[in-house]
Chains A and B, each alone.
Chain A
Amino acid sequence: MNFKQKYVFLFPGLFVLIGILIFPIIFVVRLSLSGWNSYNGLNFIGLENYIRLFTDDPRFWQSFFRLSFLSVTTVVLQYVIGFALAHMVWKDIKFQRFFRVLFLIPMMTTPVIMTVIWRTFFHESLGPVNDILSNFGMSPKWLTDPTLAKITVIIVEVWQWTPFMFLLLLAGLLSLPKEPFLAAAIDGASPIRKFIYVTFPLMAPISIGAIIIRLIEASKIMDTVYVLTSGGPGTSTETSSFYIFIKGLREFQMGYAASMSFTYLIIMIISLTFIAKGLTKLLLKD
């Protein structure tokens, strides 16, 4: 279909978005070429920020790799668990409605607030987790061990955002056509084969979409880190967005933070494009 009316559909949304964003985006680019900070205004310093970023700031790149690790791990876990849960409450299970609603709820909590609860939950001397574990002679350093702190961040992220995957995948499962399953049933396929050869391929397109959007969201992981560990111990849970936050709003090096954000945006767009292509290749073989 190709009518001139198509523009009437597309443009209001597109132009509202562009209208609101055009100034901010241009400003971010301009900002990234300035040394805007607590004492400097919007001066022009050329590519100095970018040079600093690429030649003299290993911390940014470390935080970026840490972010990649954290976001990929959490998204994979969310996907696997979300898929498993969705598959389990898809059909014939007792209290189906209860479980479906329950599994959705964590997503609806405000991260800045909920993470405070998690911090108390994992509090090493006053929290319930170590209180219970201490009965077994264990007292893991949830927030103060560099490795375990990462895992704690992952646990909280998985708790908060698995429902997102769960919902999308459950919706996907519920909208699957019935015929392929009938065919598989006639062929007498085992549940595992049925999953591998029927369910999974049918779910591939929705999976790709869900994974990509979650990667985008997970990459902004920030509230969790801020509240749980403030990037510590040391720098062991510091992610890009948290580092940008520190530089931008804590140290008020806005110009530099803008150049980091812009670089980050470019890297993300490129890598997401590749990931999307890779996933498409991997999951949609034909």
Chain B
Amino acid sequence: MKIIKTCLSAVISSVLIFSPMAYADKWSDQFPHIKATGDIPGDCSYEEISKKNYKGKTLKINTHAVPVIGQPTALHAEQFAKLTGATVDVTHTPAGDLYAKAMVPFKAGQAPYDIVFGFSNFINDWRQYLAPVPKKYMNSTEMKDVTKSHVGVSSWDGTMYQYPVDGDRHYLKYRKDVIDNPEMQKKYKADTGKELKVPTTWKEYGEMAKYFNGWDWDGDGEKEYGSAEVMKKDDLMFAAFFSRSVAYAKNPRTPGGFFFDLETMKPNINNPGFVEALTDWVEATKYVPPGGINFGLGDEIGSFGGGQTLFSFSWDDAFIAAMQDDSPIKNKVGAAPLPGSDKVWNRVSGKWENKYNQAPYIVWGWAVGVAKKSKVQEMAFDYLCFFSNGANHQADLAIGNFGVNPFKNSDFDPNLYIDTMGWDPEIANSYTKTLKDMEKSKNRVFPLRVRGVFEFTSAVATGTSKALAGQLSPQEALDEVAKEWEAIVSRVGKKNVQEDYAVGVKMEDNKL
């Protein structure tokens, strides 16, 4: 099948040389990065951008460290410079420092960068310093392809401040070679009396992880473990906790806020739903690899991607790492929606509802904006538009460690992964289906995007990590977080937080 496709595309492209579409090859000769597709027509295609002349102008960009997002930024900068004659300076900054690196100059009234990369949940703090995406780009062919939820994540109350270049979400990654292995299924059934299948609840997840913890189940001579999770008390940790919380605490029948009760602005964070999730998480410390409660995202990726654990559930990276060409577990992993739960807390009635519940967490991910004070805004938007034009985006998707993930409707075509990346069709299908279903779900949670968001998330990280370390019980830890949240709300001003939070709730309640 694959061979036929390759031959076919070879034939097609050889035909194309002599056709009017020969531009594709003109550009791909010059820019080998897009050799798989050639230029794809669009408002920001190579062809269109090459018509611009930015000679003598300088574009300054702060982006993430190489390679994730950082490398495509630098690569497209190089291409952009070649096409337009502009000078493009790129700085690379570790993820944790991106916020401060841009925020310090913003607050000081400066704009040392024309383009700043960050995360989508910076939007509320940053938007006053960012230029809204102009109409021209909103109507571009490239933008039209972006999924609705990613337009929502990039916008604040209908105005887009962040240019979509990447899509992020949390989903479940599992070892297909174990879960789908009949021998293992038999063994698991014999030992536990339960079916071994892709877990649909966190309880199942925990049981399986515990069962597959601490023994060599893939026969490589090393011990394997249950699950790799972001448990290190850093800036990403709270997201992992929210991913585990949505199943218990996001009730589609109680609109009006997941993190807070929008009306009263009372934190929900210590309600039984969240406490249940944290209890699960504390339990999880028993089936993570040694040192697992000090794992950051990098460790999680390394651990799952390196074949050390059965499960993992945060950003795409671990999955992509596992599917790299040189990975020992290439085509041995599967993607699935986050587990759900058999019960969900109803904060209105104050009771558990014994109904199956599952909710995708549209976690924040890479986002990028153009500084309001930038003197080269047009060039900056052209660059961003160029960054994610059809040809670049498809080529970027194919390179795992670029960190560019699907966010366009056209990205959910399994063939893309089968052809260009050599994925097993079954895996590609489950991957795209998982992502597509998240887009369709009506019971989603969007990231918290109120002002001073880091005070809130940092409090969550501190509280939950105390629970993970056994310093506090889950209830005590979350009570502490709730108290801290209330203090922050009163410091920031209830009205302000409420106003900001309403924007997110509108999306969650599918009203936008």
Contact = CB atoms under 8 A, between A and B. Distances in A.
Query: Which 9 pairs from chain A and chain B are nearest by CB?
Result: A124-B291, A233-B469, A234-B469, A124-B290, A232-B233, A39-B451, A234-B466, A38-B125, A249-B100
B469 A236 contact: yes
Contact of A38 (B232, B451, B465): B451
Interface string A225-243: 0000111111110000000
B462 A235 contact: yes
B293 interface: yes
Nearest to A229: B294
A240 to B, nearest CB: 15
Contacts of B233: 229-235
Given A39-B451, A141-B291, A232 B308 contact: no
A126 B290 CA distance: 9
Interface of A: 35-39, 41, 56, 59, 123-126, 130, 139, 141-144, 146, 229-236, 246, 249-254
B38 interface: no
Contacts of B10: none
B123 to A, nearest CB: 12
A125 B289 contact: yes
Contacts of A230: 232-234, 296
Contacts of B454: 38, 250-252
A65 B451 CA distance: 32
Contact of B469 (A35, A124, A146): A146
Contacts of B235: 250
B99 interface: yes
Given A125-B303, A126-B302, 19 more contacts: A37-B455, A39-B125, A39-B452, A56-B487, A59-B462, A124-B289, A124-B290, A125-B225, A232-B469, A234-B462, A234-B465, A234-B470, A234-B471, A235-B471, A236-B469, A250-B99, A250-B235, A250-B454, A253-B455
A175 B460 CA distance: 55
B438 interface: no
Interface residues of B, number: 40
Nearest to B463: A234
Contacts of A126: 302
A251 B469 contact: no
Interface SS majority for chain A: loop
A235 B294 contact: no
Contact of A142 (B225, B291, B453, B458): B291
Interface string B453-484: 11100100010011011111000000000000
Contacts of A232: 232-233, 293-294, 465, 469
Given A38-B451, A124-B291, A143-B294, A252 B103 contact: yes
B442 to A, nearest CB: 32
Interface string B431-465: 00000000000000000000111110010001001
Contact of B458 (A37, A124, A250): A250
B15 interface: no
B452 A38 contact: yes
Contacts of B290: 124-125, 130, 139, 141
Contacts of A235: 233, 462, 465-466, 471
21 contacts: A36-B107, A37-B455, A38-B103, A39-B452, A39-B492, A59-B462, A124-B290, A126-B302, A130-B290, A142-B291, A144-B293, A232-B232, A232-B233, A233-B471, A235-B465, A236-B471, A250-B96, A250-B100, A250-B454, A251-B458, A252-B99
